[in-house]
């Protein structure tokens, strides 16, 4: 298991936190329609000269990532396998909230995916919520029930909180800093530095929050694999997201009517296709298939062959995932 420090989240209510600063007004016009734009400061377009072989990792993060890989790389590599069911659940929930699915790695550094993780301050669950914050986000926390330990419910709650924070800052690096140390510390760093760029204001943040962001960057890199960093801005996404090549032409896309309890995340994994491209070709796949019982699946010709060759396994894994997601 990965040994990571569990964080203490501020106990102030979201109403107090999210209304306390004029930053909300300043950022009210930001849109979350393309949330990946919030990662703009994490990457650069030119390849760096470093041992990590990353195309877009910000050079200011490289040294930290290298050190983190030495300490936690082996354990995180193992988590790629045993943690996959949890990642599948979080991917689905984060996507439903319109959030980047790589935010699941925040749970990795918060709790190492432990449902019953407890911090010294009383933060509990995979997303490490304090009781007051959890209740504000709609989770039941009492002597009999603690929904902070419920993987699905706590992930929905985390998604709501992350959405609120993104509305304020419009940048996921600042969101992660605020998730760890509270919006008050981030707002203070912005005022003192005169900047809303994490790399410029980082040393005005508490060291714990600053390192929390860098742990996320390192974990994200390790979990996605060498050269497989998935975050990109809208303009970069077509060529960079999960190493996707240019979009196939209509002539190269085949169609097959399917029925059964298939799931988009399982199909995309088996056919080696990123979920963004899959969803572009098959909008509202999961909802439409669940409601109508059939779907006209569209895939590039080579991906369609992979789907046909692996249909039994895809269906089996899809059913297992759906049962896991439905179980409470």
Q: Which residues are catalytic?
A: 110
Token pair, residue 167, equals: 């509305």
184 and 174 in contact (C-beta within 8 Å)?
Answer: no
Tokens linked to 197: 């760029």
- Taking CA atoms, 196 is separated from 39, 103, 150, 186, in Å, by 13, 20, 34, 9
Cα torsion 199, 201, 202, 203: sign? positive
Cα–Cα distance between 280 and 252 in angstroms, integer? 15
**H or E segment at 128?**
none
Residues in the chain, how many?
328
> Kind of pairing, strands 294-300 and 253-259?
antiparallel
| Cross-strand pairs, 141 | 146
Q: Are 93 and 155 in contact (CB under 8 A)?
A: yes
Residues 6+ apart with CB under 8 A from 146: 124, 125, 140
Q: Between 183-193 and 172-181, two packed helices, what is the crossing angle to 10 degrees? A: 120
């Amino acid at each position: 298991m990965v040994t990571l420090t569990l964080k203490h989240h501020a106990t102030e209510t979201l109403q107090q936190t999210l209304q306390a600063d004029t930053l909300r007004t300043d950022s009210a016009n930001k849109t979350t329609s393309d949330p990946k734009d919030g990662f703009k400061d994490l990457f650069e377009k030119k390849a760096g000269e470093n041992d990590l072989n990353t195309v877009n990792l910000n050079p200011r993060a490289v040294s930290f990532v290298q050190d983190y890989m030495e300490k936690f790389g082996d354990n995180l590599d193992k988590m790629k396998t045993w943690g996959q069911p949890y990642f599948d659940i979080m991917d689905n929930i984060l996507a439903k909230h319109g959030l980047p699915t790589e935010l699941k790695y925040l749970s990795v550094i918060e709790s190492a995916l432990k449902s019953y993780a407890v911090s010294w301050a009383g933060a509990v669950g995979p997303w490490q919520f304090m009781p007051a914050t959890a209740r504000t986000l709609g989770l039941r926390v009492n002597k009999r029930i603690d929904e902070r330990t419920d993987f699905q419910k706590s992930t929905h709650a985390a998604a709501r909180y992350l959405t609120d924070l993104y509305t304020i800052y419009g940048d996921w690096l600042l969101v992660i800093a605020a998730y760890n140390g509270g919006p008050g510390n981030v707002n203070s760093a912005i005022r003192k530095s005169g900047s809303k760029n994490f790399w410029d204001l980082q040393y005005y943040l508490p060291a714990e929050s600053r390192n929390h962001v860098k742990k996320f960057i390192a974990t994200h890199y390790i979990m996605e694999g060498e050269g497989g960093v998935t975050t990109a801005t809208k303009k970069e996404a077509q060529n960079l997201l999960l190493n996707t090549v240019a979009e196939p032409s209509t002539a190269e896309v085949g169609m097959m009517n399917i029925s059964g309890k298939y799931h988009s995340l399982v199909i995309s994994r088996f056919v080696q296709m990123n979920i963004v491209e899959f969803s572009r070709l098959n909008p509202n796949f999961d909802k439409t298939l669940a409601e109508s019982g059939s779907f006209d699946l569209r895939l590039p010709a080579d991906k369609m062959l992979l789907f046909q060759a692996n249909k039994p396994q895809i269906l089996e894994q899809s059913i297992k995932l759906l049962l896991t997601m439905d179980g409470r």
